[in-house]
Amino acid sequence: GSGTNVILATRQLTKKFGGLTAVDDVDFEVNRGEIRCLIGPNGAGKSTLLNLITGKLSPSEGDIYFDGNDLTGLDPHERIDTGLSVKFQSPHVYENLSVKRNLQVPLQRTDRNVDRVMAETLEQIALTEQADTPAGDLSHGQQQRLEIGMAITLDPELMLLDEPVAGMSVDETADVADLITSLHDDGMAFLVVEHDMEFVREISEQVTVLNQGAVFRQGPIEEIETDEAVRRIYLGE
């Protein structure tokens, strides 16, 4: 680590698609070990911001620093090797492979002890009993947990999650909240894009609101939830 409290920082980050500025001069920071939720109306630029951080998209202007190092020139795989991990909205599991074999895929990239990390991860994502089950036979919630498991085998310092509880039942959502909270207790930081405000309230202290590509508000969830201007942008007024 660089010794500062900041794990991720964007500086004057901008992404233009033709005439449209999807991310507009954003200075944004996530602290070490925190759970930060990113909210905002449709089209606010949340996914674009995440895609710039992972390297799926290149910025039009500005820089991204992770653990004090400029990520801007690195491709997505190189970014993962620095301790940045990501789980996208829809499950990207290998349906024909068992839960165990799925976890082995990312583990091949590391020099971590496969047996130990495997057992530990199965326990964390509560899929020990399903270790030999083909991923395609799991429920939606179990598949989402498996994909989070694939990301945590790499022991990332920061995990990016785009709508991790979309389409989940109340029980499945509670399981994911527990998983994130316990990983956070072990020191992992999270940046979570999420619409489900109850879930946001459950996991996050500080919330950042994006609107029209820019940071609109940032603060404790209780303040954000009761902010009249935030309510208005959601209603599109």
Interface residues toward Mg ion, by CB under 5 A: 46-47
Interaction partner, residue 119 (ligand ADP, Mg ion, none; CB < 5-8 Å by kind): none
Both tokens assigned to 79:
């970014």
**Cβ distance to ligand ADP smaller for residue 43 or 134:** 43
Q: In terms of residues, how long is the chain?
A: 237
Q: Which of 37, 45, 52, 221 binds ligand ADP (CB under 6 A)?
A: 45
Question: What minimum distance in Å lies between the beta carbon of 14 and ligand ADP?
Answer: 12
Both tokens assigned to 138:
């799991």
Please tell me the distance from the alpha carbon of residue 191 to that of residue 198, in angstroms, as a whole number.
16
Question: What minimum distance in Å lies between the beta carbon of 194 and ligand ADP?
Answer: 11
- Cα 79–chain centre separation: 14
Asked if 46 touches ligand ADP (CB under 6 A), the answer is yes
**Cβ distance to ligand ADP smaller for residue 20 or 105:** 20
* Contact yes or no for 67/157 (Cβ under 8 A): yes
**Cβ distance to Mg ion smaller for residue 22 or 103:** 22
Buried b (16+ CB within 10 A) or exposed e, 217-235: bbeebeebeeeeebeebee
Please tell me the distance from the alpha carbon of residue 14 to that of residue 52, in angstroms, as a whole number.
9
Q: Which of 7, 34, 39, 47 binds ligand ADP (CB under 6 A)?
A: 47
Question: What minimum distance in Å lies between the beta carbon of 74 and ligand ADP?
Answer: 21
Give the count of residues interacting with ligand ADP (CB under 6 A): 11
Question: What minimum distance in Å lies between the beta carbon of 43 and ligand ADP?
Answer: 4
Number of C-beta neighbours around residue 30 at 10 A: 23
- Interface residues for ligand ADP in 5-44 (CB under 6 A)? 17, 20, 22, 40, 42-44
Both tokens assigned to 73:
């020139």
* Contact yes or no for 176/87 (Cβ under 8 A): no
Question: What minimum distance in Å lies between the beta carbon of 44 and Mg ion?
Answer: 8
Number of C-beta neighbours around residue 75 at 10 A: 10
Question: What minimum distance in Å lies between the beta carbon of 46 and Mg ion?
Answer: 5
**Cβ distance to ligand ADP smaller for residue 40 or 55:** 40
Angle between helices 170-185 and 140-152 (to 10 degrees): 10
Residues near ligand ADP, by CB under 6 A: 17, 20, 22, 40, 42-48
